[in-house]
Amino acid sequence: MLPPRSYLFFGLNAIRAISVISLLLVFSSTVFVMVTNIKAVNAFEAAKQNGDFSTNSTDPNAVNMLDCDYIEGSTVPNQAAGVFWAVVSSLLIIFQVIVLLLSELSWPMKFFDRFFPVLGSNFGLGALGIFQCLIGAQILSHHVDDFTLGAAMLLFSVGCLNILLGLIFRESAKGKRSIVAWRNEGKGVLPIATGSTSPVFVNALPPQFAPALHNGHPEDEKARYVPYPEYASPILSDKATLGFGRQGEKAAGLRGFILQRPVESLPRYAPPPPPASSPTPQASPQVHAKRISIRSSTSSFASPSQPQSPALSYEDSRPTTPVNNHAAPAFRSSPTAL
């Protein structure tokens, strides 16, 4: 089962297709009416020159064609410049139908948004329906053939329906039936940004020295944007880039910006820090005494002319702090002394 958005999309586009068909029918019927009017006027002028319209008839029911309000077989009024205004009316109807047809096809929508906003993308279907009703009423106000009558009736009906849709959906009607918007909505791959992100660079210059952006002429903005002219050419170039290295940071600094460094933090996969080491307990004086060794007098390195002095081993060379300040360490020879 399709979502309600799909039914609304297909329904609006079905009405759009009927509107396009009715406009094409009115276009062709108006061209046909214009050709028929021209032929009828030519026949009327030829008969008038040949004297076919006699006013001396003895029949009291005879009608003088010169006194008729309209030329026979046409919608042209029998008055001064009637032919001209009839042709102008048909040409205006054709021009309006072409404009409405392009608006229904959404091409070129930028032209309508700028020069004819009521038929652009920012307006609904109400204005379109009003124009269609006006064209249909203009055609139906004359005696026309069956083909032109049916096309005008269809256009007037579609115009009333578009007015109703414009009152219901207002300016969102054209967006709901847009094929491009439907395709973009159907993709739905990239997320839509809902919040604003903070910029990487911040302005480091005082406000009185900061360049005024988006004010005035674009050339003046470029001239004020760079405080040093010798660095203007690589910065102002549209395709020039300085990368993310030292040159880019230098150019940013010259333009009055500094790079904010992120706050240092450990990643989630970093190992936990090691626990604090506990203080080692102090050893007893007896243990310290055992670590001390005295070199034997029989050592080959001992000198007979000098008194022997005790020598400490590598393990006992570390300083020790006795617990009792009055107790002196005991010295005794080591069995491994040389």
- Report the candidate in 15, 38, 153, 33 with the shortest Cα–Cα distance to residue 93: 33
Rounded Cα distance, 321 and 313, in Å: 17
Mean pLDDT in the chain?
A: 74
Is pLDDT above 60 for 315?
no
The pTM (predicted TM-score) of the whole model is: 0.55
pLDDT at 212: 47
Tokens of 35: 């050709």
Is 280 a residue whose pLDDT tops 90?
no
The residue extents of the domains of the chain are 4-54+63-186, 201-258
User: Per-residue pLDDT averaged across 187-209, rounded?
Assistant: 50
pLDDT level of residue 225 (50, 70, 90 thresholds): very low
Helical (H) or strand (E) element with 28? helix 4-50
The pair phi, psi for residue 333, each rounded to 5°, is: -75, 150
Q: Reduced to 3 states, what is the DSSP secondary structure of residue 259?
A: strand
Do residues 157 and 166 lie in contact, with contact meaning Cβ atoms separated by under 8 Å? Answer: no
Instruction: Single out the residue of 84, 76, 75 nearest to residue 145, CA to CA.
Output: 75
Separation between Cα atoms, residue 23 and residue 253, nearest integer Å: 62
Phi, psi of 294 (to 5 degrees): -115, 135
The answer on pLDDT for 6 being more than 60 is yes
Beta bridge partners of 77: 70
Gyration radius of the chain's alpha carbons: 51
Residues 97-132: pLDDT tens digits? 999 999 999 889 899 999 999 999 999 999 999 999
List, in order, residues 6 or more apart from 131 with CB less than 8 Å away.
Answer: 96, 100, 159
